[in-house]
Structure 1
Amino acid sequence: MKIAVIGANGRVGNRITEGLVKHGEDVTAFVRNQNHSAASQAVIKDVFDLNKDDLAGFDVVVDALGGWTPETVDVIEDGEKKLADLLEGTNIRLVVVGGAGSLYTDAAHTKTLMDGEDFPEIFVPVATAHAKALADLRKRKDLNWTYISPAADFQADGERTGKVIEAGEDFTLNRKGQSVISYADYADAFVNEVLNPTHNKERISFLQA
């Protein structure tokens, strides 16, 4: 399988790239500067400078773009839209590293995690950008996409447990009453969905058991 990882130098993108390479896949890292990922092939190009020819021939494009500051957070939404525009009308799958803030907290799917009064204010801009990216995907009629949310507590340095629960659109807790996952476990589960796709035009989520 030929796979492009956009944002392969990022903390999540790097782990996803590493996992895909370990599975023996043909992986190309798309980065803005020097490639620091496990991929031996790289394209040094900003996402907003990409064109259809850059992505032609890939089976899957992974959107691992991230931004945390006021100056960079817009890349989450705008980068997704750029990639979706390039891939719409093709057979190339777009698999997106999503956010947890848009997970639903009620059965009617009218309230989300980030609507809660105790949702940390500092995470609102990132959660909002991820939610807008998901909303854009839902509107696409001719795009094969999968949006994958992590648990609410997304731990960069958390351990790899190898025990992951797949959930759907709803905010889900494990038997310990926790919504938590490490970057390592999330990346492993993400890679599995890329290589063994079971969800198209759907949002799913992962948490540690």
Structure 2
Amino acid sequence: MKIAIFGATGRVGQRVMDYALENQFEVRALVRSHHHMKETPNVEWIYGDAKNAEDVNTTIEGCDLVFSGLSTDKSDTLSQSIPNIIDAMVSEDIQRIVTIGTAGILNSRGEPNKFRFQTSESKKKLTFAAEEHAKVYQALSASHLEWTIVCPTYLPDGDIEGSIRCEKNFLPEDGKKITVGDTAKFAYQELFDKNYVGSRVGVCY
């Protein structure tokens, strides 16, 4: 089993890669800096950019599953990379992808047909990052892939604490935070469990 990972050097992606290696899977990871390309057993590093279709194709070719922990990086990285990832998966006949989103793109409880970031349910005043994540959601929704977007609320560093609450397309009531460790563990398991195929899932304590 080989897993293609985007955002493998990020907070969540790094932990997902660790889980994959602990379970004896092979990993192919796309990185934008040679600094991160340290020799690691069962890891094939690809130097490139997710906004470049050829680099994405090279990363995904021959893999069985895809995970993306890409962040917005204050740029259009997400909206530019997701079409490349979808096209490469279709070309390689790969179905399963799990990505990390944000609680802002979950459904609003108080205002139907709106994302949380479009309402007072979100405390963030700047919406650029949420808008980028929404574009990922819209692109995946229009595909025929087996996709899941894991949407944590406030995401502090930290190890596994357990007692995760999750809800399809909504943030569980009074959800305040969830650690990076628990988010990564949930996302990794969802790659295989497929409990939330074709939906977003809000995660918190």
The TM-score, its normalising length taken from structure 2, stands at 0.85
Structure 1 equivalent of residue 69 of structure 2: 64
Matched, 1:103 2:106: yes
Q: Is the 8 Å Cα contact of residues 7 and 30 (structure 1) preserved in structure 2?
A: yes
Q: Is the 8 Å Cα contact of residues 3 and 60 (structure 1) preserved in structure 2?
A: yes
Equivalent residue letter for 1:62: F
Equivalent residue letter for 2:175: Q
Q: Is the 8 Å Cα contact of residues 146 and 199 (structure 1) preserved in structure 2?
A: yes
Q: CA deviation at 1:111?
A: 2.3
Q: Is the 8 Å Cα contact of residues 100 and 149 (structure 1) preserved in structure 2?
A: yes
The unaligned stretches of length 5 or more in structure 1 are none
Structure 2 equivalent of residue 153 of structure 1: 154
CA RMSD of aligned residues (A): 2.2
Equivalent residue letter for 1:202: S
Structure 2 equivalent of residue 193 of structure 1: 190
Q: After TM superposition, list the pairs within 5 Å mapping 1:1-209 onto structure 2.
A: 1-34=1-34, 35=36, 40-47=43-50, 48=52, 49-50=54-55, 52-69=57-74, 72=75, 74-88=76-90, 90-106=93-109, 109-117=112-120, 119-122=123-126, 124-140=127-143, 142-150=144-152, 152-155=153-156, 157-173=157-173, 177-208=174-205
Q: CA deviation at 1:36?
A: 5.8
Partner deviation per Cα, 1:39-93 (whole Å, 9 max, x = no partner): 6321112121425354222111111111232xx2x10121112101221262342
Cα distance in 2 between the residues matched to 1:41 and 1:91: 19
Equivalent residue letter for 2:140: L
Distance 1:59 1:114, change over 3 A: same
Aligned residues: 198
Cα distance in 2 between the residues matched to 1:32 and 1:67: 14
Cα distance in 1 between the residues matched to 2:45 and 2:101: 23
The TM-score, its normalising length taken from structure 1, stands at 0.84
Equivalent residue letter for 1:186: T
Q: CA deviation at 1:95?
A: 1.5
